[in-house]
Chains A and B, each alone.
Chain A
C-alpha cells in the first residue's frame, strides 16, 4: 500500500460507481425481497492494491508449508484413518467454494448498494482462491500419501456418489432460486458465518492431531478470508431488515438454511472429527463440545440473538432441536454408522473402531456403547473378506434406512421420519423440518404470499433408485470405484493394503441385488405404507429394527 491510508483509498474508490443513464445492466436473477437504496458501508474497506499482496503473502506461507511437509516426510506420520476421510471432504469442498464465487452476481442487481458490490467482487475471487488451493492440496495428498485411490478419481466420484450429492447442496443452494435466499441467507448468513467455524477451524485442528499440518495450513488461510464474507452477509442482512416486508421471508429462509446446514454439515464434519481421528485423549473436545462452542455460543448467542432487536425472527426452536439431535439422538453417530454400512458404495476406506475408540466414545457420549458398540464390533469382525458378505448384507440388527428427500441424508433418527405424497410420489423425510422445507418453503407461495422467485428442489434425489435391482459389482463398476487391477475396490472397510485382504468385484458379485427403499415404498398399498411407517418410527437407535410387538 502506498502512503495513502486504507480508509482514504477506500473512500476514493467509492467514486468509481455510477448510475446507468442509457441502459440498465441485465437482470438475470430475481428475488422476492425488496430493498431500499441505502448507503450501507462495506465494513472491511478492502482495496485491491493491498489485497493482492496480502493474498500473495498468505500463499507464500501455504506453499512454503507444503514444501516443508514433503521435505520433512509428513506422510510418515499422518494417520490413514484421517486421510481416508479427506478423500470425501476434499472431493466435496472445492465446489461449494467455487459456487460461492458464482453466487456473487446474484446480489449485484438485487442489492442496490455499489459499495457492497466491491466486497462481493473480492469475495468472488477469494472463492476462486479457495477452490483451486483446495484442489491443489488434494493433488499433493494424491502424490504423497500411501493410497492415492479415491483422490485420483475424486471429481468423478464426487459427482456420482450419494455422499457427494449430500455435500452438493452446500454449493447449489448458493447459486439458484431466490437470489437473497441463496447468495445471502443460505451462503453468507448461515453457511459461512456459522458452519465454516466447524469446517475450517475445528476440523483442521483435528487434522493436526492426526499428523497432518497441511490441512490446517490451507484451511486457516482460507478461513482468514471468511471474515470478509461474513461482513458482506451482515451488511446485506441489515439492509433486508430495514424493510418490514422482508421479515416473513427472512424467517422462512433462516429456518430452511439453518436446518439444511445442520443436516448436511454436522453429518459430514461430525463424522470426520469423531470417527476419522486417532486422537482419543479424554480432554480433547468432542464434536458436540466443539459445536456448543463454535455454533451455539459463537454463532447463535453472539451473532444471531443480538439481531433480534432489529426484528429478525430467530429459529430458537431449531437451534435447540439441532443440539437435541446431536446430543440426545446421536445424529453424528447414526450418520457415521450409515457411511460405514454403505462403505462399498464409497471411494475411501473406513477404519474399524477399536476398544480405545469405544472407551473415548463412552466417556464423551455416555450410553454410546449400548447403542453402537455391538454394531462396530460386527463391523470389525466383517471387515476383511472371509466367506461372508459385506456388512450391508449381513444380519447385524441394522435396517437399511430410507433417504430424506430434502437433505438426502437418510432418515437415521428413525422416530423422526415423516412422509408426504408430492407430485404423485411418496417421499420420506428425516425430520418434520425437512418435510416443511420441501412442501412449504420451496413453493411459489408462502403463507399466502406470492413467492415467484423461490427456487425448486429438483433432481434424482434418492441415489438408491438409480441402482434399483442391480448387483453391487455392477454398481461399483458403473460408478468407477475400481482400482487399476480392474477388480479391487477403491473402498474398503479397513486400512489393510494387503491385496489378499481387500474386497473385489468378485466378492460383490455374490451379494443379493440392491433395492431402492423408495421404489419399494411406492409399490405399497396405503395400508402397507401406514404399517411400514408405524414400524419404521419404532426402530432404532443404531438402525435396529423395531422391537416385536407384544
Chain B
C-alpha cells in the first residue's frame, strides 16, 4: 500500500480582510486624497496618472535626489519658456527643522493639465490594437479581392515613392521629437500623453512600411525601396525633410509639440494625407491606401490634436502668464509657419502626378490653412501674416 505524501503548499486562511468588514477611522475613505480632480468626480484616468511624477513644490519634501552634472534634477520648469501660474515662485526651502511642507497642491498650473483622451495603458493598447487589426483586415480583404490589380502604373509609382516617403516623417518625429519630449515635461499627465502620441507616429510609420512590404509582394514591379530614394533625394520631399529635421532639433519641449501638432500637422501632414492621398486614391482605383493613411489621420485629428489643444489652451488662458505665453506662441508661429508653408509648396508637383487628379493644390492648401486658423482661434492666437505666403 502506498501513502500519498502531503504536498507543501500555502493554506488558504479566512481573514475577512475585505472592505466593509469593520468600521474604524478611514474605513470608508476610498478615494485618492492627494489631488483635486478636474471635474466633480475623480476619473479612472486621473487615478492612475496624477502625481506619479513628483514635485518638490508640493509634496516632495526631500527634493530631487539625483542631478545632472550641473546639479539640476527632476523636471525643471524652465525646460520650456512657457509658464503656468506659480512657475516663478521659488522652490520651498527645506532645512534643519523646516518640516516638509511645500505649497498647497497643485503648487503651479502645470498640474492642472488633463489629457482629454484619458490615455493610460488600457486605452492605448485597446485603441492601437483595434487600428492594427482593422488595417490587417483591410489589406487582407484587398488582397483577396485582387484590388491592387486595378491600380494604374502611375498610381503604383505614386504609392511606392510618395505615400512611402511619408513613413519617414512619422518615424523621425515619433522617435526624435515625441518620444524625446516624454522626458521633458513637468507632469506625468503631459509626459504620458506625449508618449502615446509618439507611439501613434511610430505605429503609423510601421503601418506604411508593412503596407509597402505587402505591395512589394502583391504588385509585380513594385519597388519596395523607392521610398528611401525619394526621401533622400527627390526635390519635392526635401522641404518636408528639412522641416521635419528642424522640428527634431528644437530644444524647448513645448515649442516642439506646438510646432509639430499645431503648425506642421495641419499645414503639411493633413495637406498631404487628407488633401492629396485621400482625394486622389479613389479616382485611381485605390480604396486601400486611404484606410491606412486614414488611420493616422484619425490619430492626429481626433486624439493627438485634442490633447495638444487642451495643453496649450490651459497656457493661453493661464491666470498669470496668458499674455507671456501667447506672445511666445506668436513668435513660434512666425518662425514655423513660413517653414511649413515652404515645405507644403515644395510638395505641389505631386498633385499633377496621378492619372486621375485630386482637387487643385491651391484648394487643398486653402483648406489646410483654414483648418489651421481654426485651431489658432480655439487657442486664442492670431493668424500670423506669414500664412499668406
Q: Which residues of A contact B (CB under 8 A)?
A: 1-2, 4, 8-9, 12-13, 15-18, 20-26, 28-30, 47-49, 52-53, 55-56, 59, 63, 73, 75-80, 83, 94-95, 98, 101-106, 108, 117-118, 120-121, 124-125, 128-133, 135-136, 139, 142-149, 152-156, 158-160, 162, 165, 168-169, 172-173, 175-178, 182, 208-211, 278-279, 281, 283-284, 408, 444, 452-461, 463, 465-470, 474, 478-479, 483-485, 488, 490, 497-499, 502, 516, 519
Asked if A488 and B63 make an inter-chain contact with CB atoms under 8 angstroms apart, the answer reads: no
Question: Is there a chain A Cβ closer than 8 Å to B65's Cβ?
Answer: yes
Closest residue on chain B to residue A4 by CB atoms = B213
Closest Cβ of chain B: how far from A477's Cβ, in Å?
A: 10
Q: List B residues 131-167 near A (Cβ within 8 Å).
A: 131-133, 135-136, 139-140, 167
Residues of B within 8 A of A461 (CB): 62, 65
Asked if A147 and B27 make an inter-chain contact with CB atoms under 8 angstroms apart, the answer reads: yes
Asked if A281 and B206 make an inter-chain contact with CB atoms under 8 angstroms apart, the answer reads: no
Q: List B residues 5-30 near A (Cβ within 8 Å).
A: 8, 10, 12-22, 24-30
A121 interface neighbour in B19, B121, B179, Cβ under 8 Å:
B179
Residues of A within 8 A of B176 (CB): 25, 108
Closest residue on chain A to residue B179 by CB atoms = A121
Q: List B residues 344-383 near A (Cβ within 8 Å).
A: none
Knowing A23-B245, A135-B52, A211-B15 touch, does A53 contact B26 (C-beta < 8 A)?
no
Asked if B125 and A129 make an inter-chain contact with CB atoms under 8 angstroms apart, the answer reads: yes
Residues of A within 8 A of B387 (CB): none
Asked if A76 and B66 make an inter-chain contact with CB atoms under 8 angstroms apart, the answer reads: no
CA distance A244 to B300 in the complex (A): 45
Asked if B52 and A94 make an inter-chain contact with CB atoms under 8 angstroms apart, the answer reads: yes
9 A-B pairs with the lowest CB-CB distances in the bound complex, closest first: A75-B18, A483-B25, A156-B34, A159-B59, A135-B48, A209-B10, A149-B26, A16-B171, A129-B121
Asked if B71 and A4 make an inter-chain contact with CB atoms under 8 angstroms apart, the answer reads: no
Asked if A22 and B122 make an inter-chain contact with CB atoms under 8 angstroms apart, the answer reads: no
Q: List 9 A-B contacts (CB under 8 A).
A: A26-B249, A103-B183, A132-B121, A132-B192, A172-B74, A458-B63, A465-B97, A466-B94, A467-B97
Asked if A149 and B22 make an inter-chain contact with CB atoms under 8 angstroms apart, the answer reads: no
Between A16, A98, A117, A519, the greatest number of chain B beta carbons within 10 A of the residue's beta carbon is seen for A16
CA distance A120 to B176 in the complex (A): 12
Closest Cβ of chain B: how far from A467's Cβ, in Å?
A: 7
Question: Is there a chain A Cβ closer than 8 Å to B205's Cβ?
Answer: yes
Closest Cβ of chain A: how far from B114's Cβ, in Å?
A: 14
Question: Is there a chain A Cβ closer than 8 Å to B279's Cβ?
Answer: no
Closest Cβ of chain A: how far from B219's Cβ, in Å?
A: 15
Closest Cβ of chain A: how far from B385's Cβ, in Å?
A: 25
Closest residue on chain B to residue A58 by CB atoms = B125
Asked if A470 and B99 make an inter-chain contact with CB atoms under 8 angstroms apart, the answer reads: yes
Residues of B within 8 A of A158 (CB): 54
Asked if A485 and B25 make an inter-chain contact with CB atoms under 8 angstroms apart, the answer reads: yes
Q: How many A-B residue pairs have CB under 8 A?
A: 399
Residues of A within 8 A of B71 (CB): 456, 458
Closest residue on chain B to residue A150 by CB atoms = B26
Residues of A within 8 A of B22 (CB): 146, 497
Asked if B66 and A79 make an inter-chain contact with CB atoms under 8 angstroms apart, the answer reads: no
Knowing A121-B179, A145-B17, A159-B54 touch, does A49 contact B62 (C-beta < 8 A)?
no
Closest residue on chain A to residue B207 by CB atoms = A49
Please tell me which stretch of B225-233, B264-272, B304-312 contacts chain A, meaning at least 4 of its Cβ atoms lie within 8 angstroms of it.
B225-233
CA distance A223 to B73 in the complex (A): 28
CA distance A394 to B83 in the complex (A): 51
Q: Which residues of B contact A (CB under 8 A)?
A: 8, 10, 12-22, 24-35, 44, 47-55, 58-69, 71, 73-74, 94-101, 120-122, 124-126, 128-129, 131-133, 135-136, 139-140, 167-168, 171-172, 174-176, 179-184, 188, 191-192, 195-196, 198-199, 202-203, 205-207, 209-210, 212-214, 217, 224-225, 227-228, 231-232, 241-242, 245-246, 248-251
CA distance A101 to B49 in the complex (A): 14
CA distance A413 to B61 in the complex (A): 27
CA distance A467 to B62 in the complex (A): 11
Knowing A28-B183, A52-B125, A466-B61 touch, does A2 contact B139 (C-beta < 8 A)?
yes
Residues of B within 8 A of A106 (CB): 183
Asked if A104 and B73 make an inter-chain contact with CB atoms under 8 angstroms apart, the answer reads: no
CA distance A197 to B141 in the complex (A): 44
Asked if B100 and A478 make an inter-chain contact with CB atoms under 8 angstroms apart, the answer reads: yes
CA distance A484 to B225 in the complex (A): 66
Asked if A459 and B73 make an inter-chain contact with CB atoms under 8 angstroms apart, the answer reads: yes
Asked if A483 and B29 make an inter-chain contact with CB atoms under 8 angstroms apart, the answer reads: yes
Knowing A456-B66, A488-B25 touch, does A121 contact B8 (C-beta < 8 A)?
no
Closest Cβ of chain B: how far from A349's Cβ, in Å?
A: 11
CA distance A294 to B172 in the complex (A): 39
Residues of B within 8 A of A519 (CB): 96
Closest Cβ of chain A: how far from B34's Cβ, in Å?
A: 4
Residues of B within 8 A of A104 (CB): 179, 182-183
Between B28, B74, B180, B205, the greatest number of chain A beta carbons within 10 A of the residue's beta carbon is seen for B180
CA distance A478 to B61 in the complex (A): 10
Residues of B within 8 A of A139 (CB): 32, 44, 47-48
Asked if A18 and B172 make an inter-chain contact with CB atoms under 8 angstroms apart, the answer reads: yes
Asked if B191 and A102 make an inter-chain contact with CB atoms under 8 angstroms apart, the answer reads: yes
B29 interface neighbour in A152, A463, A478, A479, Cβ under 8 Å:
A152
Residues of A within 8 A of B192 (CB): 98, 128, 132
Residues of B within 8 A of A145 (CB): 17-19
Residues of A within 8 A of B205 (CB): 13, 16
Closest residue on chain B to residue A16 by CB atoms = B171
Residues of B within 8 A of A131 (CB): 48, 52
Residues of A within 8 A of B207 (CB): 49
Contacts A48-B206, A77-B13 aside, 14 further interface pairs with beta carbons under 8 A come to A28-B251, A49-B132, A52-B203, A56-B129, A95-B52, A118-B202, A159-B54, A162-B62, A169-B65, A172-B64, A444-B69, A455-B68, A463-B61, A497-B27
